[in-house]
Amino acid sequence: MAASIKRPRFQRLLLAQLVTVSLLTSLGAWRGGGPVAMSALLGGAVAFLPNAYFAWRMFRYQGARHTKQIVNGFYKAEAGKFGLTVALFALVFITVPPSNPAFFFGAYVVTLFAHWLGPWLIRQPSHT
């Protein structure tokens, strides 16, 4: 009987990033009102959306038979994540320049730092 390979539980990591964006948006609303909250929300979205794309794209193939497809998928996912990040930064700064760059970049960086929780959030339970 072949052992089934389970996908990593990256949903909890993405949920942690969404919670981080929500908290920073709330902090921005409390500190400076709507424009500051919007800056924090946009910064968090610029960090979250490419990560969600990467997670969706990366884990399409599994198993030893798909090694080449896994490696190619990783490179395509990373390139797409980078391109999406650049496009979102350009889109935000052209269409809706942040009123508070400190909250925009702060939310971006803190949302990215949620990846430090990745090993704890994604770990598989031991069955032994």
Report yes or no on 28 lying in a domain. yes
- Euclidean distance between CA atoms 38 and 68, whole angstroms: 42
Report yes or no on 1 lying in a domain. no
pLDDT along the chain (128 residues), means of 10: 55 83 90 89 93 82 70 87 94 87 91 77 57
Report yes or no on 21 lying in a domain. yes
Residue 83: predicted pLDDT: 95
Report yes or no on 105 lying in a domain. yes
Residue 69: predicted pLDDT: 79
Query: Is the pTM for the entire model greater than 0.75?
Result: yes
Burial tier of 76 (Cβ tally within 10 Å: 0-12, 13-18, 19+): middle
SS3 for 91? helix
Name the domain count of the chain: 1
Q: Which tokens is 81 given? A: 């994540």
Domain of residue 114: give its range: 11-120
